[in-house]
């Protein structure tokens, strides 16, 4: 028999059972800042209904990364 998955536990409202199961397996607590960093890499905030991919964010940035370097391309 396999254990309860996190997804199954969330859908069934059984997070307590999932936590008890994982603690019994020896899985301990995670540091909150570690969790926040891991989630930030995976979870992206949804765009608001009236924001396009080119609309500036509230801080004025576009949220796009800029390329660093001298801008020259190397041809092969």
Each residue's pLDDT tens digit, 3-61 = 999 999 999 999 999 999 999 999 888 899 998 999 899 888 777 777 666 666 677 67
Parent domain of 14: 6-42
Cβ-contact 17, 9 below 8 angstroms: yes
pLDDT > 60? residue 76:
no
In this structure, is residue 51 part of a structural domain? no
The answer for residues whose C-beta is within 8 angstroms of residue 54's C-beta and 6 or more apart is 62
- What is the count of structural domains for the chain? 1
In a domain? residue 76? no
Enumerate residues 6+ apart whose C-beta is below 8 A from 47. 53
Q: Tens digits of per-residue pLDDT, 6-22?
A: 999 999 999 999 999 99
Determine the Cα–Cα distance for residues 62 and 20; give it in Å rounded to an integer.
43
DSSP, residue by residue, 47-72? PPTT--TTSPPTTS--SPPPPPS--P
């Amino acid at each position: 028999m396999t254990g309860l998955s996190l997804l199954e536990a969330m859908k069934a409202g059984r997070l307590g059972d999932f936590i008890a199961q994982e603690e019994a397996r020896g899985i301990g607590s995670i540091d909150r800042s570690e969790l926040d960093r891991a989630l930030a890499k995976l979870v992206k905030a949804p765009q608001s209904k009236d924001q396009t991919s080119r609309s500036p964010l509230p801080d004025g940035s576009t949220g796009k990364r800029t390329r660093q370097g001298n801008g020259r391309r190397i041809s092969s």
